[in-house]
Amino acid sequence: MPRRILAVFLPCLALFPACAPASEPESAGPADGHAYIWSMAADSAGSDGLLVMDVDIASDRYGQVIGQAMLDTHDAMPHHIERHVHDGVLFANAWMSNRTWIFDVRDPVHPAIRASFGTAEDVAGWAHDFARLPDGRMLVAFNAGPGAYEGAGGLGEVDDDGTIVRIASARMPGVEDTAATPYVILPVAGRDRAVVGLTEMGMPDQTTFHDTHLLQLWRTDSLAPIAVIPMPPNGTDRGHIWSSSIEATASGEVFTNTFSCGLYRITGLDGDAPVATRVFTFPGGGAGLECGVGTAVGNYWIQAVAAAPGLMVVDLSDPAKGREAARLVMDSTAYRGVHWLSRDGAGTRLAISGNGSWLAMARFDPTTGAIAFDERFGTRDDGAPGITVRDLQGREMHPHGVAWGR
């Protein structure tokens, strides 16, 4: 997300009626047993780090932190994280340090720092997002140039020991340096291609942002950008600005949401000239960042929407026109700035975080679209579902990204 969302959130609008509870699906597949919470120290007495939570629903420690790997800093701003553990390895970036840490989590209770990396040669820096290719290779979106936070970024391949295998600039005809800012990646199933969203992450002292409305199509075999995909405006709002998440539904359709609350379908990915078309608009979409991270489960899109406030579920069974199916209302006082969500491997649980030290868990039914708080996860001191995140020493932490694993 652009950096300013950490400090500025819109006031809440009127609350909507709560939706019906989510039922447990008949067959959810294997459930993840651990969640990895990439967290920033709440004050200078603590350290940033990776916390490990027990999320085995059969465990008597469900919702408790059981392990950690701490950094030697308290102001690195832990940000994006790989969504699922891959072969015991997990990538996570700390934005203010221009550094990405690679964790060994084969023993979840005792995670360890395996390696780290920063600038990718003299081409790009400021890693933001991570995507595994089918063969396990890691693609990394570098959001800007190799020095200060400015200039064009790029796409790189990095091995699990932090070695930059190759790197390519996002510069290409039709994409100026101010827009050549890879932010999020989705490999295209069955092809040596990836869709890359271009969004300016920004820095704490940055006062203006470029209104980027572009995606790119990249080759992943030779690592090169080959096409520009504009997200066209609808003439009434700013919903085409700043791609946030790119996901594929069960039917194989690819969608991207924007921080300005648009949802676009990306078609033509069987060729090299894709097209983006608006299929849904969430509440908000003004000058602020009313919408956050989205994810796909089955043929549903689940979106963090500050103006709701909470999560909205959109049925994309008809990929040309989304339809709201359910809503999880989250009080904006108890859950300030709802922003991040990530799904477990079965698609039945969603970890949710935002501005502050809270973490909530929702249950989702992929067969009906029903969504509700997971009351078993915990109850905070103020009575709200969820927990206040603390490290093993009891120090309060501010969670951002959450990854899942066995």
Q: Is residue 342 part of a domain?
A: no
Beta-strand ranges (E) seen in 109-163 are 112-117, 125-132, 138-144, 154-158
Torsion over CA: 123, 129, 131, 136 (sign): positive
Number of domains the chain is built from: 1
Whole-model pTM: value is: 0.92
Q: Which domain holds residue 173?
A: 118-230
What gap in Å lies between CA 218 and CA 126, rounded to an integer? 19
- Residue 213, in any domain of the structure: yes
Instruction: Please check whether residue 111 lies inside any domain of the structure.
Output: no
19: in domain: no
Q: Name the DSSP class of 172.
A: B
Residue 223 lies in a domain: yes
Q: Is 216 helix (H, G, I), strand (E, B) or coil?
A: strand
Bridge partners, 350 (sequence order) = 343, 362
**Residue 212: inside a domain, yes or no?**
yes
Strands of the sheet containing 164-169, edge to edge, are 125-132, 138-144, 154-158, 164-169
In a domain, 403, yes or no: no
Strand 262-267 relative to strand 254-258, pairing: antiparallel
Task: Name, in order, each residue with C-beta under 8 angstroms of 289's C-beta and a sequence gap of 6 or more.
Answer: 1, 2, 4, 5, 8, 242, 259, 260, 306
Q: Which two tokens stand for residue 350?
A: 């969603």
Give, for all 406 residues of the chain, the pLDDT tens digit: 454 333 322 223 232 233 333 434 433 445 799 999 999 999 888 899 999 999 999 999 999 999 999 999 888 999 999 999 999 999 999 999 999 999 999 999 999 999 999 999 999 999 999 999 999 999 999 999 999 999 999 999 999 999 999 999 999 999 999 999 999 999 999 999 999 999 999 988 887 888 999 999 999 999 999 999 999 999 999 999 999 999 999 999 999 999 999 999 999 999 999 999 999 999 987 656 689 999 999 999 999 999 899 999 999 999 999 999 999 999 999 999 999 999 999 999 999 999 999 999 999 999 999 999 999 999 998 999 999 999 999 999 999 999 999 8
Residue 3 φ/ψ, nearest 5 degrees: -55, -30
User: Does 5 map to a domain?
Assistant: no
